[in-house]
Chain A
């Protein structure tokens, strides 16, 4: 009971409040971020899974065996089906080609549809498709066919009532190149249309959702039975771009939680060290009164355990409260409301509490138990201990283990280790420089400030490392967030082309050009295109392995141009010179897959005729540019003898959507691929992810500032005492404030500089290993780091000491005694 009694007394005395506050802050911060990340990750998953309208999908060109569906039922999986095909609609004298999708009652399993009952209404979400006998049409179909809501149209032998305008369907991107506007109907009406006959081109999609175990068990059973007509699609296959965005965002959130753990531990470490130092005389007195080392350890470990228990419980509660408030506050910004989090964040918070206590709070206590009782007689509390560094090992070690567990990423752990290693080594170097600095020639406030830094050189190493860690966390998060968001914005620039025109016949080219240019649309140039198959490399037929590569096996779109297309980059060889009319430029990854290089000769079969071309250059492409991209680009004139059509992409603002109808009416043979809805969905998801990233960054900045304040508080008492003595001796208040600003400012500059080094190292590993992005040097970081350090640490330190400097020195000395 003695530890608890002393705990109560110590608490009253205010000594434990510091460490308890740090611990509560640590646990609550980490718990809040872990909760927040968990909920945002779940929301992102829901949002992204809505791209499939399910968790997993089986896509087939034939109806799958009934047994497959029964098995899914047995495993308790939710199911829905869609059947997609292109067909002609008719209403009176109007005929229009449409992309038809028949859906079952449970469609969509994830996400929602958005519909309007009238053109003037706002779209509203619904969880189910049309009822039997009804169809929903994409808005532009109505004016195109002179129809209104309530009218009827014919599809095959079926006759349907138009009841809604369909504005949004979650898996619109399932078939990127579906042509024509959408008509959605009930699956049970399909038979009555008599459209689907053997040999019809149909895409059947079987949608499944359920718990992970059931899904895994089902697909493990199913996969061996799949034929070449079927494939399983998850997010990664269905929307690789979204999946990659999600992966990166998750890594970012793990990084945030890891950095929060790091910051929290630094705050606890600083508070515990201060507690240990201030308790050295307690222990010396207790030892002189007959308390042995074991007794002291028992008392302090008992105290700390009780404190840790209470502080951790409190931290968990506060952390959970903060995140729920934060989510409530931000609710309006999330397209998908973040669902409740699981129990994992509480474990993370608890583990942080335990690791902080074992790694950071306990080692000073063990050291405390070694206190020499002779110190009561010597009046010297400096307690120099050459093995102090040993006590610094458990903390970082336990944190790295915790971060590894938390992030599940060795790369994130190593990135932080690299950053921190550089930071601590740098702090030791700065410390040496400080000790060696000469002060004699310096003026008043500089001399006081630098003298103070020199006297506490040892502690300053720790302090610089602590400030540096706080700044590193903030800078790393800021730059990682900037890199991610920039990358995402680059993936989908604001006015990225969202419509493709294909199959433009040469005789239509001028007319289409005129129409598009007349509308002042931002578009790419019109590329000629012939379809051809690669049949031989250097005279050797393309072998089976290469045939399996779907990008090469199928017919390729071959084009020619005299200028390097925008977003293409020549990485080997040379672009053709003027008047050159042979040669082919190959996309670099395809070249690698084919094992071909500059000078190799490729033979193509085009409409039964063959042609050869020598590879004169290799190119990289930007697949995110939403422009027509070609694996093979020929020199102008080399494909002149083959019949070509043209392709172009342009950006069509939503308000000009009916322009598509004009094109359809004027150029009925031109196919229009509408990607606007898909891009909108992707943009919305990336927006959600970006908000998650920004919100977590804001939380991290708050945590970083808290660590800086904890650092300042840990070092303030001695400085105050010195300031009071200097004032007693006649030093002016302004002189002291200036010297404090210089002292903390210099600490901040050193910490900021080291944080810049650490951040650059961390980002180098993170971007390449975790975010899968190229290395980038950040010159701005080297300015922002020291500046932010000087500003934040200098301000926090000066503000913390300012009131004490203003008080009568006698009062300060009495309070500190």
Chain B
């Protein structure tokens, strides 16, 4: 089983007006392709910062990260962006749909940024897969919260899928995907996320407050004050090479 994501001795500090502040310290982990990992912790524990670093949105102060076999900590911003365009998808807590674009245009955006020609058709397919085939031309403000998050999920999968049906070798980062939804809608969105994850053999890393959601993932890290406090890693899940430092 190949490794999709690997981090070694991550440290992250930022400078503030009151001096340097450590956000993460000494984090190491490794995640095989097609598996899922949940990161939980209280607000301010550093879980979203870790997610951002793992996805290549920022560079750690110290340590190394490999994504899809490439060391992203050695890349500049442009190279990291190119890698994200190739194999990373995002689902955000507040959906982050662009308000001026319709549902279909929002989903098309990643394909368009890659210069793909059939962006519209693929976006339509993914929107149909999340049950929004009838809402293609609606703007975000015309959709409910649950629907907006489903559009965001379609966009995330569309951004990592190399062809119309699969997203092999892609990785999806989800930041509190149910944080802005009620329980019913949250449940539906999670079901959808895991269903698509399975269908497309995508690796999944999600940050959540919800224990129930974390339990559906193959591995579960708990964080506090920028450090991993506990890790539930099934023996048969990560295989010989699997490693999560605590």
Contact = CB atoms under 8 A, between A and B. Distances in A.
Contacts of A14: 100
B228 interface: no
A291 B115 CA distance: 11
Given A9-B101, A285-B98, A290 B114 contact: yes
A387 to B, nearest CB: 16
Contact of B77 (A15, A282, A293): A293
A291 B175 contact: no
Contacts of B115: 2
Contacts of A379: 93-94
Contacts of B155: 289
Contacts of B110: 289-290
B86 interface: yes
A203 B88 CA distance: 93
A291 B82 CA distance: 7
A815 to B, nearest CB: 8
B52 interface: yes
A5 B112 contact: yes
A181 B125 CA distance: 97
B90 A291 contact: no
Interface string A1-28: 0100100011011110000000000000
A814 B141 CA distance: 8
B25 to A, nearest CB: 18
Contacts of B83: 290
B92 interface: yes
Contacts of A288: 55, 57, 84, 88, 90, 96
A144 B64 CA distance: 111
A294 interface: yes
Looking at B58, B83, B98, B99, the one whose CB has the most chain A CB atoms below 10 A away is B98
Nearest to B55: A288
B48 A377 contact: yes
B26 to A, nearest CB: 21
A292 interface: yes
A37 B155 CA distance: 55
A268 B92 CA distance: 33
A378 B159 contact: no
B105 interface: yes
Nearest to B79: A292
A289 B57 contact: no
Nearest to B77: A293
A13 B96 contact: no
A9 B100 contact: yes
A63 interface: no
A171 B132 CA distance: 83
B78 A294 contact: yes
B242 interface: no
A286 B114 CA distance: 11
Interface string A366-409: 00000011101111000000000000000000000000000000
Contacts of B88: 288, 290
Nearest to B207: A377
A292 B82 contact: yes
B137 to A, nearest CB: 11
Interface string B1-18: 000000000000000000
A244 interface: no
Contacts of B51: 377
A281 interface: yes
Given A13-B100, A295-B81, A372-B58, A377 B52 contact: yes
Contact of A290 (B86, B101, B175): B86
A15 B100 contact: yes
A266 B105 CA distance: 33
B238 interface: no
A378 B58 contact: no
Contact of A289 (B49, B105, B109, B175): B109
Number of contact residues on B: which range applies?
35 or more
B147 to A, nearest CB: 15
- Interface of A, secondary structure class, is helix
A56 interface: no
Given A373-B57, A376-B92, A377-B51, A293 B81 contact: yes
B78 A285 contact: no
A376 B81 contact: no
A374 B57 contact: yes
A376 B113 contact: no
A335 B98 CA distance: 58
A662 to B, nearest CB: 84
B85 interface: yes
B207 to A, nearest CB: 9
A376 B101 CA distance: 18
Nearest to B160: A290
A35 interface: no
A290 B113 contact: yes
Interface in A129-179: none
A12 B100 contact: yes
Contact of B100 (A10, A284, A286, A817): A10
A357 B175 CA distance: 37
A39 interface: no
A289 B100 contact: no
Contacts of A295: 81, 113
A2 B115 CA distance: 8
A774 B141 CA distance: 62
A15 B98 CA distance: 11
A627 interface: no
B113 A291 contact: yes
Contacts of A284: 96
Contacts of B112: 2, 5
Interface string B46-66: 001101100101100000000
A287 B52 contact: no
A587 B77 CA distance: 78
Contact of A13 (B48, B82, B101): B101
Interface string B136-149: 00000100000000
B82 A290 contact: yes
A372 B81 CA distance: 12
Interface string A577-606: 000000000000000000000000000000
B98 A282 contact: yes
A9 B85 contact: no
A373 B85 CA distance: 13
B100 A292 contact: no
A290 B81 contact: yes
Contacts of B114: 290
B78 A292 contact: yes
Contacts of B85: 289-291
A294 B141 CA distance: 30
Nearest to B114: A290
Contact of A374 (B52, B84, B96, B101): B52
A285 B96 contact: yes
Contacts of A377: 48-49, 51-52, 57, 92, 175
Given A2-B112, A14-B100, A374-B58, A290 B105 contact: no
Interface string A170-202: 000000000000000000000000000000000
A693 B101 CA distance: 48
Contact of A287 (B49, B81, B99, B100): B81
Contacts of B96: 281, 284-285, 288, 376
A287 to B, nearest CB: 6
28 contacts: A2-B113, A9-B105, A13-B100, A282-B98, A287-B81, A288-B55, A288-B57, A288-B88, A289-B109, A289-B155, A290-B81, A290-B82, A290-B85, A290-B86, A290-B113, A290-B114, A291-B81, A292-B82, A293-B77, A294-B78, A373-B58, A374-B49, A374-B52, A374-B58, A376-B57, A376-B92, A377-B49, A377-B92
List the 3 shortest-distance A-B pairs measured between CB atoms, nearest first. Answer: A13-B100, A290-B85, A292-B81
Given A290-B86, A291-B85, A372-B57, 20 more contacts: A9-B101, A13-B99, A13-B100, A14-B100, A286-B113, A289-B84, A289-B90, A289-B113, A289-B159, A290-B84, A290-B110, A291-B81, A292-B82, A293-B77, A294-B78, A372-B58, A373-B58, A374-B49, A376-B57, A376-B90
